[in-house]
Chain A
Amino acid sequence: MGNYLDATAADQKKMLDQIGVSSIDQLYSMVPEQLLVDKLVLPEGLSELEVRAAIEELAAKNLIFKNIFRGAGSYDHYIPAIVSQVTAKEEFVTAYTPYQAEISQGILQAIFEYQTMICELTGMDVANASAYDGASAAAEAAAMCRDKKRRCVCIAATCHPDTIETLKTYCFAADCELTIIPATDGLTDAAALSAVGEDTACLIVQQPNFYGLIEDASSLAEIIHQKGGKFVISCNPIALGILATPAEVGADIAVGEGQPLGMPLSFGGPYLGFMACKTSFARSLPGRIVGETTDANGNRAFVLTLQAREQHIKREKAASSICSNQALCALTAAVYLSAMGSGGLREAAEQSAAKAHYLAAQLCAIEGFNLVYGGEFFNEFAATTPVAADILLLKLEKEGILGGYPLDYHTILWCATEKNSKYDIDHLIAVIKKAVSRCS
């Protein structure tokens, strides 16, 4: 019903006259007649009021959980009110990629500030303006490390399964080998890594890993560097509020999923792939990069720079085809980090860890619930369950609780953030106890 046109029938007539044709159909005279479609099988257009009702009805078919104890790559952190207010500004929402620097200083500066914050979080020197998500950012990082001699990419089995799957796909595309380094007790097996060949381009490790455990990244860095390969860490940006940075443990490239920095769960997207590296890698970093310079009057100015790397200049010789990225999500992360500040981020990280450890202690006090792995964890941990995972989770669902992510029939990956109060955790534990006693 709507079409958002800004022309009356009289306007259209006037325009056709000016063009010198008698009908709009005439403008399609180049299209072979047999190709013109008569009428598509599409619904009739709706008014705004009707569309709202239709979409709200779809949204209402989803179940919103009151309490979430599930992470596994998507984390329910608190988002300060200012974040959505700022990111809803029309000048940010409706702009294209800032090609025209003179009228895009706002967006360019916002990205420059974002790049700086990512560098501060990761300890790296250079960050790009974003990649599609954490998984594809890891795949792009692998491409940065590959060359003619070093074709093989290694990835830790303890990475998020979607990251591993994405790497498989990208490696199939690039006709290069992917080796999955197995784990022992939930952590990357250093001995297995030591056995990789001389053609290894890089190792990708997730920190904390998929099971929530903190990997011994420094040791892994040492081994992969001895092999002549690069070390890529995929990190949780909230954890970087307290845990050692990729730079401190010897990573060459840091990537990660930026969703925890102010983006709602949103059924998996849009999220934010962040990428940062050492200066020596700057020219092989894919995607947009904003740099500082001066204008004709000597004033501070920001521009998209190092464009000679990119597809619109290099075409088939470009290392990546990325063009549109996740700019508004990068802005979201920057506003989030500015609102939280260094202290606020640290607090979010510490509280997430504290709640997860409290949850683990309470949970493992119940018979049949035990930590699967012995290592240090951040805000996620795998625990056994004496009742079948799906049955337990269904009981929780009835109480409005999204329990942890079931890894298998008797193992659940639990997660806590600063949003889970002690009261909520105690309630969760009470529900679990009840469920266990009923089932046994």
Chain B
Amino acid sequence: MSEKKIIRVVLAKPGLDGHDRGAKVIARALRDAGMEVIYTGLRQTPEQIVTTVEQEDADVLMLSILSGAHNYLFPRIMELLKERGITDILVLGGGIIPDEDIPGLKQIGIKEIFGPGTELKTIIDCIHSNLAQANKV
């Protein structure tokens, strides 16, 4: 059997908010689930985030935001990914994001938005199943 590829995840905090409890808990959970997690730290611009994704050759980009600026920042990040030709990446979002904003965010290519109370297992399963579909693992 060939060696299983280790999933590489960039976990980013776009925007100015400092709420990183959720991001850090998820980082630990994904690490414990055998993934390689790169946490960007706070206050990352869309440009910085996309550059990290490029440099780290990430399979997954997770965006955590609780400030309410998602409708500006998420589309900007998706745009930049496209511009730089990064199309085969799974993008997930999380934080305080009103239900009514979710369809719009999914339409621009964010696969799933996780709100407060989401189980870590749900996130891990989501990554596995999406990457399996894309034949990445």
Q: Are A and B co-members of a single complex? A: no
Query: Which residues of A are at the interface with B, using a C-beta cutoff of 8 A?
Result: none
Query: Which residues of B are at the interface with A, using a C-beta cutoff of 8 A?
Result: none
